[in-house]
Amino acid sequence: MIEPSAALRAGLLGLSRNDTVRSLVQNAPISRDVVARYVSGEATADAVRTSTELNGKGLLGTLDFLGEDCTDLEQARSTRDNYLELLGALSEHGLTEGGVIEVSVKLSAVGQYLGGDGNKIALEHAREICEAAARAGTTVTIDMEDHTTTDDTLSGVRELREDFPWVGAVLQAYLFRTEADCKDLATAGSRIRLCKGAYKEPGSVAYQDKSEVDLSYVRCLKALMEGDGYPMVASHDPRLVQIAGSLADRYLRASDSFEYQMLYGIRPAEHERLSAAGHKMRIYVPYGNEWYGYLVRRMAERPANALFFARSLVSRG
Ligand code: FDA
C-alpha cells in the first residue's frame, strides 16, 4: 500500500509539469513570503545581495537562475545571458575568487529540451557560462534532472571537463545506477554533489521507499568519501549529515576536501552550525521569476509546507 505522504509527494511532483496548474498558481496573488522563503528574488541584484549576505556569514553559495524545461531558443539564450550577467556582477563585487560563490545550471534551462540539436545547443550555452566562470575565478555545477536526461547530462559534464576540469556533476541516490556512477566519477579533482533526488521516477529505475533511498545515499557517500574526488554532501537530513562526518573521519579527509550543501531557506541554523564547526558549507540559492517547478519540488519534500502554501493561496486568492 502507498503511504499517504508518498501519494501526496507523487501528486505534487505530477503538478510540477502541469501547465494549467502552473499558470493558475503563478498568477495567483499568493503571499510573497512563501516564495521568498525559498527564492532569493527575481533580479541579478537580489542574487548578488544574498551572496553578499552568505559571504558575510562565512558561507559559500551556488546560484541557480530559475527556468527549467525551456522549449524556446530565445528563452534558452536569455537564461545563458542571465548567467553571464550574474557572473560579471558577482565578480565585480569580489564574490567569485576561489569559488566562494559559484553557479548551478540545469541543461534543460539552456536548451536540452529544444529537440533536434537541443543537447548540442545546451552544451554550447553551458560552455559559454563555464568560460565566464573561469574569467571570474569560480566554478559551475551542472544540476541533474529526471532520469531520461542522466546519460546526456553526464556525457555533457565529461565534455565540459575536458576544458574546465572543475565542472561539478550531481548524482541522485534514488536511482539504482548511482552507486556505480559514484565509483566511476570519484576521481582526482572530480566535484560530485550527492543528493537524494527530487523528481517523480518509476520503480523500474529508482528506489521508491524512503529508507531504501537513505541506504543508497550512505553507500554512494561511502564510495565518494573513499575515492579521490571532492564530495559535496547535499542533504538536510540530520542522520546523513552525521554519517558524512563519520565517513570523512574514517577516510582521513581534511575539512577542506569535501563540503556540505543545503538549500536556501531550509534549516538555516544548521548552515551556521556546520560552518562554525569549521566545515565548508555551501547554500544553493535559486533566483528569477520562474520559481514554480522549484517550489513544487520543495513542497513535495515536506507535506507541512504544501499545506502552508495551499492555505496562503486560498486566503489571498
Ligand atoms: P529529506 O527530504 O528526507 O529531508 C530531511 C530533513 O530536512 C527533513 O526531515 C526536514 O527537517 C528537512 N527538509 C527537507 N526538505 C525540506 C523542505 N522543503 N522544507 C523544510 N524542511 C525540509 N535534486 C535533484 O534531483 N537534482 C539536483 O540537481 C539537486 N540539487 C540539489 C542541490 C542541493 C545543494 C541540495 C541540498 C539539494 C538538491 N536537490 C537536487 C534536491 C534533493 O534531491 C532533495 O530533494 C532535497 O534535498 C531533500 O532531500 P534531503 O536529503 O534534504 O532529505
Contact 147, 206 (CB under 8 A): yes
Read off the pLDDT of each residue in 2-29 and give the average, rounded to a whole number: 67
Residue 316 has pLDDT above 50, yes or no: no
CA–CA separation, 179 and 193 (whole Å): 13
Residue 296 has pLDDT above 90, yes or no: no
**Best mutation site among 259, 301, 302, 309 for ligand 1 pocket (most ligand atoms within 8 Å of CB):** 301
Q: Which triple of cell numbers denotes residue 299?
A: 513542497
Residues with beta carbon inside 6 Å of ligand 1?
A: 143-144, 170, 172, 193, 195-199, 234-237, 261-263, 266-267, 284, 298, 301-302, 305
CA–CA separation, 297 and 149 (whole Å): 18
Residue 119 has pLDDT above 90, yes or no: yes
User: What is the pTM for the complete model shown?
Assistant: 0.92
Other CB atoms within 10 A of residue 250 CB? 11
Contact 121, 114 (CB under 8 A): yes
Whether 193 is catalytic is yes
Contact 128, 94 (CB under 8 A): no
Q: What is the pLDDT of residues 33-92, one digit of tens each?
A: 678 889 999 999 999 999 999 999 999 999 999 987 899 999 999 999 999 999 999 999
Residue 5 has pLDDT above 90, yes or no: no
Q: Which triple of cell numbers denotes residue 79?
A: 537564461
Largest CA distance in the chain: 55
What distance in angstroms lies between residue 236's CA and the mean position of ligand 1's atoms?
6
What distance in angstroms lies between residue 258's CA and the mean position of ligand 1's atoms?
18
pLDDT at residue number 3: 57
Residue 211 has pLDDT above 50, yes or no: yes
Residue 305 has pLDDT above 60, yes or no: yes
Q: Where are the alpha helices (DSSP H) in the chain?
A: 4-15, 19-27, 32-38, 44-56, 73-92, 118-136, 150-163, 178-185, 210-226, 238-250, 268-276, 292-301, 303-316
Q: Which is more confidently placed, 35 or 108? A: 108
CA–CA separation, 178 and 268 (whole Å): 28
